[in-house]
Chain A
Amino acid sequence: MDEILTCSVKDLRTKICAGEVKSVDAVKACYKRIKEVEPKVKAFLKLNEEQALKHAAASDEKIRSGQKCGVLEGVPIAIKDNIMIKGESMTSASKYLENYVSPYDATVIERLKSAGAVFIGRTNMDEFAMGGSTETSAYQQTANPWDITKIPGGSSGGSAAAVSSAMAPFALGSDTGGSIRQPAGFTGIVGYKPSYGLISRYGVCALASSFDQIGSFSKNVYDTALLVSVIAGKDYRDPVCEPTEQTDYTEGFDNSGVFKKLKIGIPKELSNYSSDGEILKSFDNAVRNLQLEGAEIVEVSAPSYKYVPALYKVIMCAEVSANIATFDGIRYGYRSPNGISLNDEYAKSRGESLGYEVKKRILFGTYVLGAKNYHRCYHQAQRVRTLLINDLNKAFSECDFIFSPSTLQMPVKFGEELPEECDIFLIAANLGGFPGITVPCGFTKNRMPMGVHFMGKRFSDAKLFQAAHAFEKISGFDMSQYPKI
């Protein structure tokens, strides 16, 4: 494989900036790889080689003429199709937004543009990010590059597949209930969801607003930290974005002995769920490696983990029903030609353009928010959410990170369903607003990658990167391996 494709973002940006590698060649290498593997993987909804090459050439010219390089000058990146880039289409993998053109840039895109990054394409996802397999996309099915008969996970399955098969060095995704970390775990790469409020969601298609966060996919922890240094920080246009200053998250990575100062909590509840035997074995091995590095391993308990699937479904669907109400077929998007009155037109515009999963969630959400049911359903769930957060904060008083397998099961074949509790340790991070990162830790006998998940206290993101980076060095996972497609 082309050396450019196996290069980390860290090295690639240095080489581009030094003029050793041309951004145009980096973009060309990505597109060459895309032409080879994309027919089987189908990670992208839209590619625009011409425009990407134009931007790359502009970066090269900037460097040639001695102008100051952006942090990600000339580096190619893939963007999930629910993040707005001015003048480009954004479908959120829904028929409703089939012809939508973004009138402005999302904050994260604005920042990536000023850092000099080059957008190479829009990645597939579950429709409006509702799903965990990328199968609810209205356009195409994305395959897991390690076994193309299996799902890549979701909802950001396209971004995960693109990075793991070396079609893009890194990518943006969004994570509402594990939508970055689960597919990253399924495809053997690093997936990160920030603390709630660290990265602005302005210009991102909303799913469940009290959980949604933008995050990243990369081949290593450093590249994620580098990307986050560019996109994180205060933005008045997202009212829940915390007033944090721009931070260099790659600082403090070279310290050895990181784990000697850390207490790693293993949730007692892990044993309550049926898990894949190989995953448990590799997780135990990871715990042993941490111990050998000097980490103190403690057992922590959060009994309300058992409410996670129910909590997530009730609150998420309620927020979905409120957010999707914005799609009225009046200001943009699909309008049914069959409506006979205003109400009928709303109903038909949504009914004809949205997929089953989205509609099911709208209905469930509308029900739990209904005047008759609100107290018993939605309000009750919000109080149980407090219980879970209290449990997790108590666990965090005894450890620095909660450590678990990234998923409890391996990816399934298309059309098959994953059990509800597969991602509960990931979803807990969304419910509590905690940061989480999945890092690959090994392969199964069938050459499928597995991962582990670190969840930290709120706004411990910098420390989380340091721990994940240190783990990466001892995980034994060979990052230079690529799927044979």
Chain B
Amino acid sequence: MLKEELEITAFLARLEVKEEEKERYLKDLNKMFEFIEVLQEPDISQLKPTTHVTSLRNVWRDDIVKPCPKETIEQMLNAAPQKEETFYKVKKVIEAQ
């Protein structure tokens, strides 16, 4: 991984990586990339991927609305760093390019 690739990955992850830390990340991540190489070794052409070990499919429950207690809603909203009435407040989503 090169510095430029690290910066792109950090942007995709919406994660700030400070300039002075980049070298440390690059060193550690490049070491971790050896894991990817190790996994190229076995012949898995006949195998399907495992996403989950469970064999459950479509777990249904009755379609009944369970009302959320008002105090829970208030508590959830109060946990927000910024809110207005019953809304979470965020910075402008659409920005001028």
Contacts and interface: CB of A to CB of B under 8 A. Distances in A.
A binds B: yes
B65 interface: no
Nearest to A317: B32
B48 A386 contact: yes
Contacts of B48: 383, 386
Interface string B28-55: 1100101110111110100111111110
Given A240-B56, A310-B38, A363 B81 contact: no
Given A342-B90, A342-B92, A351-B18, A314 B36 contact: yes
Contacts of A199: none
B81 A386 contact: no
A430 to B, nearest CB: 9
Interface string B1-19: 1000110011111111110
A366 B15 CA distance: 10
A32 interface: no
Contacts of A321: 13
B39 A311 contact: yes
Contacts of A348: 16
B47 A386 contact: yes
Residue picked from B21, B42, B80, most chain A C-beta under 10 Å: B42
A433 B17 CA distance: 35
B53 A377 contact: no
Mostly, the B contact residues are loop
A25 interface: no
B86 interface: no
Contacts of B12: 366, 370
A321 B50 CA distance: 18
A210 B36 contact: no
Contact of A310 (B28, B29, B35, B44): B35
Interface stretch (A96-104, A123-131, A250-258, A276-284): A96-104
Given A342-B92, A359-B17, A364 B59 contact: no
A381 interface: yes
Given A363-B6, A363-B15, A330 B80 contact: yes
Contact of B14 (A346, A384, A458): A346
Interface string A217-243: 000000000000000000010011011
B70 interface: no
A433 B54 contact: yes
B52 A240 contact: yes
A381 B15 CA distance: 25
Contacts of B47: 383, 386-387, 390
Nearest to A433: B53
A343 to B, nearest CB: 6
A197 B81 contact: no
A272 to B, nearest CB: 14
Residue picked from B39, B47, B79, most chain A C-beta under 10 Å: B39
A370 B9 contact: yes
A329 B81 contact: yes
A141 B81 CA distance: 29
B14 to A, nearest CB: 4
Given A351-B16, A383-B49, A242 B54 contact: yes
Contacts of B81: 329-330, 332-335
What are the 9 tightest A-B residue pairs by CB atom distance, in nearest-first order? A351-B16, A433-B53, A382-B49, A335-B81, A310-B35, A332-B79, A346-B14, A383-B44, A347-B16
Given A342-B91, A356-B24, A366-B15, 5 more contacts: A314-B39, A341-B95, A359-B15, A379-B49, A380-B39
25 contacts: A103-B79, A104-B72, A210-B51, A240-B56, A307-B38, A310-B38, A310-B39, A314-B35, A330-B90, A331-B76, A331-B79, A342-B91, A343-B14, A345-B90, A345-B91, A347-B15, A350-B15, A360-B25, A363-B10, A364-B29, A368-B36, A381-B39, A389-B50, A389-B53, A458-B53
